[in-house]
Structures are given as C-alpha cells and as structure tokens.
Amino acid sequence: MTRRMRMPTFTRRARAPKLVRSALALLALPALGLALSLAGAGEARAQARAADVAGRYAVLREDGRDTGCMVTLHPTPRGKGFRAQLAPACRDQGVVVFDPVGWWLEKGKLHLQARKGHNIALDAEAGGAWLKKDGRPLGLKRI
C-alpha cells in the first residue's frame, strides 16, 4: 500500500516555511542592491546638474529688459532643494515681494521658491538663461 503525501496548503495565517522565506530573501538582496545603487547614481546626476545651474543671475523682465536685480543660486542644500538669495540692491518691487529663498530642478525646469512658500517654474533657454513663459514675463540670465 502506497502512502499518499499531502501537499501543504497556505492560508492567510500560515507562513511559508523558513527555508522558502530565506530563499526569497536571498533572491531579493541583489534586486535591492541594484535599486539602491541606481538611486545613488540618480542623486549624483541631480547634484551635478544643480552644480552646473548654481551661480549668479541677472533678473530680466519683458523683452530681456534688465531690472538691476541679481539672484544667487547657491549649491547649499535647503529643505527640498537649494538656497537662493536676492541681492539687497534690487529695485523691482515684484521681485522684492517674491524674494526667492530656494530653488530646485524638476523635469528640466528651474523652480524658484518665494519666502512665503509659493514658487514659479522657469524653462531653460539658450545660453544658460531661464524664462517664465506664463503670466508676467520673468527671466534669469547668467552673469
């Protein structure tokens, strides 16, 4: 008489045998390591791009008119992105009220954050300039 083996059934409460859990953990390790190394590479690329964008910029209005204001985009981390600083000699009231304190890059756009929390998005232009295309025109041109 042959004895029939019953296959174990797993219910919601039952756990997989320790050997199966260990094998699954070993299979997941390389995948986790790969994901971590890719995330690190992405951060390095973002830092490199941020370092390329950081610097001093003249603030421009419609038709490329210089406002006499200067914004410094620092590579110093601050919250979500990096630190920005408006030069104290700025006379354009709109820029003074906006008062950029932070910046970051997202999807090819430069985002400037105001002291009060709102932000604007600027699109990249030729020659390292950035331009806001909606609403009242605003641009940044590298000095």
pLDDT tens-digit readout, 85-119:
999 999 999 999 999 999 999 988 999 999 999 99
Compare 11 and 86 and report the one with higher pLDDT: 86
Rounded to two decimals, the pTM is 0.66
Classified by CATH at the fold level, domain 54-142 comes out as Lipocalin (2.40.128)
Q: Which residue's entry shows tokens 């042959």?
A: 2
Buried b (16+ CB within 10 A) or exposed e, 20-37: eeeeeeeeeeeeeeeeee
Digit-coded pLDDT (tens) for 13-70 = 555 555 545 544 444 444 444 333 334 444 444 555 888 999 999 999 988 899 999 9
pLDDT at 9: 58
Contacts of residue 81, Cβ cutoff 8 Å, sequence gap at least 6: 50, 102, 103, 104, 105, 111, 113
Reading the block at residue 82, the tokens are 């990096």
